[in-house]
Amino acid sequence: MISWEQAFEGVTNGIPGLDRDDFEMVPKEDGWVGVRLPQEMMFELLRTPTYLSIQGDRWQFCCRRPMIFIGEWNRRGFMDNAPDGDGRRLFQEVMQEHADGMWESHFPDAAGIYVFRCPSCGRKTAYYDMD
């Protein structure tokens, strides 16, 4: 998540316990960790139309660039977008955190699953939230 104030500061809002090596991590209070980003990248994200999520934006990054939000998918979305029609495999591939058996449960129909694609390498990633 990025606010105008954070863009001027050059550090994102962050999430708890974030740890990755492609950007500079900026520890904040209570275990939250922000990310130092080039300011022009942050202003670009602020200008990008936001997507509708239950718990607020969570921009994804790959190849040191913001990823493109491609949609909120349910079971049907994964099946329609799987090159071989194997929605379950695509789901397992792109989900950042998933429990085994999630695809078989009602989960893919109940949660908001946000899918992103890297404009550089084409990798997809997804995360979910619930109310």
Residue closer to Zn ion (CB basis): 105 or 120? 120
Helix (H) or strand (E) run with residue 33 in it = strand 32-36
| Partners of 65 in beta bridges | 62
Helix (H) or strand (E) run with residue 78 in it = helix 75-81
Q: What are phi and psi of 124, to 5 degrees?
A: -105, 150
Residue closer to Zn ion (CB basis): 46 or 63? 63
Options 61-69, 73-81, 87-95, 108-116: segment touching Zn ion (CB under 5 A): 61-69
Closest distance to Zn ion from the beta carbon of 78 (Å):
20
Closest CA to 112 of 61, 59, 56, 65: 56
C-alpha 82/C-alpha 40 separation (Å) is: 34
Work out whether 15 is an interface residue with Zn ion (CB under 5 A): no
C-alpha 39/C-alpha 57 separation (Å) is: 18
Closest distance to Zn ion from the beta carbon of 63 (Å):
3
How many residues bind Zn ion (CB under 5 A)? The answer is 6
| Partners of 124 in beta bridges | 117
Site string for Zn ion, 62-81 (x = CB under 5 A): xx------------------
According to CB under 5 A, which residues from 99 to 118 bind Zn ion?
Answer: 118
Closest distance to Zn ion from the beta carbon of 23 (Å):
13
Closest distance to Zn ion from the beta carbon of 65 (Å):
7
Residues that bind Zn ion (CB under 5 A): 62-63, 118, 120-121, 123
